[in-house]
């Protein structure tokens, strides 16, 4: 099983940015945790992080027929990007959305979410553990789908 984990803008600044909201664990440590989990679960995992909307769209398009599913934290693009939503719809892979913080309880401008209705599941407010839950959820979903 091949899963693609995509992180949007500023997720590479984890551990530095607003630690009261996003925690003190850095991006490298997130990747290490997810790699460990994927190893234990026999999942092939690829990570991609970009601060650029078009690069994320390109990566989603490249996933077509190469990956079984996508875990995505589109970060700020969650609230603005029709292009990312359209790319996800285009490749039509089961997609789980992750947010480190509890976006549904934050500022009004974060209540617009282009991804939520499309995703098969969303995890928010669980910190970095949300990514682990998302991977396990997607694994389960894909196994049951067979
Ligand atoms: C975020 C929430 C977004 O509103 C924000 O722009 C981010 C991170 C989260 O993981 O909680 O950059 O997606």
pLDDT digits (tens, 9 = 90+) for 91-118: 999 999 999 999 999 999 999 999 999 9
7 lines ligand 1 (CB under 6 A): no
What is the band of 145 on the pLDDT scale with cuts at 50, 70, 90? confident
- Please determine, for residue 52, whether its predicted confidence score (pLDDT) is greater than 90: yes
Q: What is the pLDDT of residue 112?
A: 98
The confidence score (pLDDT) of residue 57 equals: 98
Rounded distance from Cα 146 to ligand 1 centre (Å) = 33
pLDDT tens figures, 62-77: 999 999 999 999 999 9
Locate the ligand 1 atom nearest the alpha carbon of residue 110 and give its number. Answer: 4
Contacts of 98 (CB under 8 A, 6+ apart): 71, 72, 73, 122, 123, 124, 130, 131, 134
User: 100: CA distance to ligand 1 center in Å?
Assistant: 7
Measured over the CA atoms of residue 67, residue 72, residue 74 and residue 79, the dihedral's sign is positive
What is the pLDDT at residue 18?
97
CB-ligand 1 contact for 34 (6 Å cutoff): no
| Dihedral sign (CA 80, 84, 88, 89) | positive
Of 2, 6, 27, 42, the C-alpha closest to 119 is 6
Query: Would you say residue 146 has pLDDT above 80?
Result: no
Contact between 15 and 27 under an 8 Å Cβ cutoff? The reply is yes
Q: Give the closest residue (by CA) to ligand 1 atom 12.
A: 75
> pLDDT value at position 92?
98
| Ligand 1 contact via 128 beta carbon (within 6 Å) | no
Predicted local confidence at residue 144, as pLDDT:
95
What's residue 7's pLDDT?
A: 98
What is the average pLDDT across 34-39?
A: 98
**Atom number of ligand 1 nearest to Cα 9:** 12
């Amino acid at each position: 099983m091949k899963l693609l984990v995509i992180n949007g803008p500023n997720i590479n600044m984890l551990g530095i940015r607003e630690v009261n909201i996003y925690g003190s664990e850095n991006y490298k440590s997130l990747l290490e945790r997810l790699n460990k989990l994927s190893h234990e679960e026999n999942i092939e995992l690829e990570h991609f992080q970009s601060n650029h909307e078009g690069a994320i769209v390109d990566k989603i398009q490249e996933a077509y027929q190469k990956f079984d599913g996508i875990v995505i934290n589109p970060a700020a693009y969650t609230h603005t990007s029709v292009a990312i939503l359209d790319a996800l719809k285009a490749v039509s892979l089961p997609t789980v959305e992750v947010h480190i913080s509890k976006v549904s309880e934050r500022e009004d401008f974060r209540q617009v979410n282009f991804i939520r209705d499309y995703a098969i599941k969303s995890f928010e407010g669980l910190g970095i553990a949300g990514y682990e839950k998302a991977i396990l959820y997607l694994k389960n979903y894909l196994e049951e789908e067979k």
